[in-house]
Structure formats: C-alpha cells, structure tokens
Amino acid sequence: MDFELTEDQVTIRRAVAELAGKFDDQYWMEKDAAHEFPAEFYQAFADGGWLGITTPEEYGGHGFGISEAALLLEEVSASGAGMNGASSMHLSIFGMHPVIVHGSEELKRDNLPRIVTGDLHVCFGVTEPGAGQDTTRITTFAKRDGSDYVVNGRKVWISKAMESEKILLLTRTTRFEDVTKKTDGLTLFLTDLDRDHIDIRPIAKMGRNAVTSNELFIDDLRIPAEHRVGEEGQGFKYILDGLNPERMLVAAEALGLGRAALRRAVRYGNERVVFGRPIGMNQGLQFPLADSLARLDAAELALRKATWLYDNGRPCGREANTAKYLCADAGFEAADRALQTHGGMGYAEEYHVARYFREARLLKIAPLSQEMVLNYLGSHVLGLPRSY
C-alpha cells in the first residue's frame, strides 16, 4: 500500500494552492454578493494551463488523470473559492469527457483547444423539470430534418448557461414510450447556445451565486448533425461513462470546502475569548471540530482510493459513490460546525462561513443526491431491490 502522492501531484497541489490563494475570501464574498462570474479567477487558471489538466495533449491539454483533477478542484475549493470557484471551471476540466471518448475528430478539434485556453465556455444540459434524477424521462426532443435536427423542450438548473457559448445537450431522439430499453433513444449534442432559439432565465438560489443556474426554454433550435456526439440513440451511455469521475470531482470539492470551513473555525476558536478563555478550549466546540477533522480525513482516503482505481482502469462505482457520499456529508458537517463556532458572527457574511455553509449544502443534492448514492450502494453493491 502506498499513500504517497507522486511528485507531479505534490507540485500540482502546491501550484494550485498558490494560484487560488491570490483570490481571497473578500474576492469571493464580493463576487457572490454581486452575482458576478469570477472572470479574473477563471482566466488565471486558463492562463496557467489548468483547465486542460485532463484534456489529451493533442488538443492542448496535459492528459493527467482524475487523481490530479481531483487534487486541483480540492485545492481550489479549500482556498475559500468553494463552489463558486470550482463550479466556474468544473465542466471545462472534465465535462467534455463524452466528447473526448465518443466525439468526432472535427468536434474535438473545434472545441477542446478553445476550452483549454478559457476562450470557450460550455454548459451541460441534462436536468428537466418533469424528469428529475430519472434522466431517461427527459422529453426535450431532437427531430431529424434533413442534415439537421430541430430541438424543442425545456431544461432546468443549467449552470453557467448565461456565460456559455455552447451547450452539451442531452435530448431524446426516440420517445420514452417507443423504446424497448428506457436508456435507449437519447442523443447527445455539443452545439451553440443560440439565444434566438433558447430563452435563458437565471434561477434565484440559496448560494453559489457567482455562477448562475438557469432555466432554458428551447424553441425550434436547429442543430447540424455534425454537432452530434457519437451515435444517435446512445447519449445515455456516453453520459454514464463520465458519472464516476464526476462523483469523485464533486467529492473533492466538498472535501476542500470542509477543510476551508475547519480552518476558519479553528482560527476563530483560538481567537475569540468568552468567559475569560478562548471558546475553542470548550470541548462542546472543540470535539465537533476534531470529529470533523477525523471525518474529512477518512473521506479523503475513500476519495484517493476511488481516483486511483479509476486512473488504473479498475471498476470504481462503489468507491466513487462512497467518496461522494462521505465527502459531501463531512464537508457540510464541517461547514455547519464552523458556523456554530462563530456564534452570531457565523451568520454574518463577513466571516465567510455562512457562504461555505450554503455552498456545502448544495453538494448533498447536486449533481447527484445522497439518496441516489445510497440507492446505488443498496441495489448495485448490496443486491437489495431497486426503488428507481
């Protein structure tokens, strides 16, 4: 058993922490309050070549694995950038996986290098109001019309749509009622987010407000067939390929946020004096923080194992789901305890833990809820009957 990070991994970790550290909590507080995309931060990471960490070298990237991408996003989140920082770049880093594996050479050449340089923002359009996490129930429909498809439908929660030029869009090309297997008949496109045919409306939400999430109303959007990713009807399988890595990256973001919260809680616990002693001396506060440290460390081990398995071509569904579950829980718990440690000041924006708390809460819901993780472990791993 080897728990050492490689030399590259140590270097990545250090360099990312240094770059992310240039954008302090004040920056993130202001971006969040103004609902403003962190363009300077994003460009700094693009200029440093970080957006291409997993992109193959022939398309301008570095070709590293998920282990390195997870370290990157963990450090971004842990810097205090949290989900505002991580979500600004999450899709650029791994969202194009279905295109890299299944897309045409033209689609890759046209898009991947521009994503790496930060020039092209892409959002990911899967969720629909009527389908929820039952993705096979989406109804946004792409109807073939000569050399094009014509798309109509509605998406919800699409992050970064306001800032994006393109969308990785999941549609149905055969209706649910007409397929024998419910995962068939879904088709994926990487295409222009044409504002003449897509009405984009931001959703007012609880946190992570520097990155928008949006409703999309798609009305007769024409998509050339060359924008299709892989084969018609196989889109669901292409998305599935990327699910485990996505769970690991989200786990890394939750872990980083938990670390940021714990760091602030410890600082305040040492500084704030009430009843003539630092509040961190009271075991009612100290033990929950020590407990969070233990939980974050344990969750980190689960994550490192999952990313190692994936990068070594081994099955990792159990470990990826476990890592997402444990990191999301430990991250949120740490944020909650950091808020409690700050007392009334925890509720003030000035101390930043309120922002961490709102952002950490998201990771128990999206991109996959804790319940769906347990559904996976219960049915796929333990062999209990499926509820979904």
Ligand X SMILES: Cc1cc2nc3c(=O)[nH]c(=O)nc-3n(C[C@H](O)[C@H](O)[C@H](O)COP(=O)(O)OP(=O)(O)OC[C@H]3O[C@@H](n4cnc5c(N)ncnc54)[C@H](O)[C@@H]3O)c2cc1C
Tell the smallest beta-carbon distance from residue 137 to ligand X (Å).
Answer: 10
Residues 248-287 that bind ligand X (CB under 6 A): none
Tell the smallest beta-carbon distance from residue 210 to ligand X (Å).
Answer: 12
Exposure on the CB side of residue 314, measured as CA atoms within 13 A: 10
C-alpha distances in angstroms, 48 versus 7, 43, 88, 314, 320? 19, 8, 15, 31, 28
- Is 157 one of the binding residues for ligand X (CB under 6 A)? yes
Binding test (CB under 6 A) with ligand X, winner from 43, 117, 369, 379: 369
Q: Which amino acid is at 120?
A: L
* Nearer to ligand X among residue 173 and residue 375 (C-beta): 375
- Is 127 one of the binding residues for ligand X (CB under 6 A)? yes
Using a 10 angstrom Cβ sphere, with 0-12 exposed, 13-18 middle and 19 or more buried, the burial of residue 119 is: exposed
* Nearer to ligand X among residue 239 and residue 285 (C-beta): 239
The span from the CA of 279 to the CA of 341, in Å, is: 8
Name the residue with the smallest CB distance to ligand X.
132
Binding test (CB under 6 A) with ligand X, winner from 43, 104, 117, 133: 133
- Is 3 one of the binding residues for ligand X (CB under 6 A)? no
Residues 67-126 that bind ligand X (CB under 6 A): 123-126
Tell the smallest beta-carbon distance from residue 90 to ligand X (Å).
Answer: 9
Is 9:68 a contact under the CB 8 Å cutoff? yes
Binding test (CB under 6 A) with ligand X, winner from 167, 361, 367, 376: 367
Instruction: Name the phi and psi angles at 279, rounded to 5.
Output: -60, -25
The span from the CA of 337 to the CA of 264, in Å, is: 11
- Is 366 one of the binding residues for ligand X (CB under 6 A)? yes
Q: Which amino acid is at 43?
A: Q
Supply angle C-alpha 261, 266, 271, rounded to 5: 125
Binding test (CB under 6 A) with ligand X, winner from 371, 377, 378, 379: 371
* Nearer to ligand X among residue 63 and residue 132 (C-beta): 132
Report, in this order, helix, strand and coil percent for the chain, each rounded to 5. Answer: 55, 15, 30
* Nearer to ligand X among residue 19 and residue 51 (C-beta): 51
* Nearer to ligand X among residue 91 and residue 261 (C-beta): 91
Is 128:140 a contact under the CB 8 Å cutoff? yes
Tell the smallest beta-carbon distance from residue 161 to ligand X (Å).
Answer: 8
Binding test (CB under 6 A) with ligand X, winner from 81, 254, 338, 362: 362
The span from the CA of 362 to the CA of 129, in Å, is: 18
* Nearer to ligand X among residue 289 and residue 335 (C-beta): 335
Using a 10 angstrom Cβ sphere, with 0-12 exposed, 13-18 middle and 19 or more buried, the burial of residue 172 is: buried
Tell the smallest beta-carbon distance from residue 153 to ligand X (Å).
Answer: 13
Helix (H, G, I), strand (E, B) or coil at 186: strand
* Nearer to ligand X among residue 214 and residue 341 (C-beta): 214
The span from the CA of 295 to the CA of 65, in Å, is: 25
Binding test (CB under 6 A) with ligand X, winner from 138, 158, 327, 334: 158
Per-residue contact flags (x/-) with ligand X for residues 164 to 203, judged by CB under 6 A: ----------------------------------------
- Is 236 one of the binding residues for ligand X (CB under 6 A)? no
* Nearer to ligand X among residue 56 and residue 132 (C-beta): 132
Interface with ligand X: number of residues (CB under 6 A) = 24
Token duo for residue 173: 């090309």
Is 190:111 a contact under the CB 8 Å cutoff? yes
The span from the CA of 254 to the CA of 330, in Å, is: 8
Positions touching ligand X (CB under 6 A) are 123-127, 132-133, 157-159, 205, 208, 213, 362, 365-369, 371-372, 375, 387-388
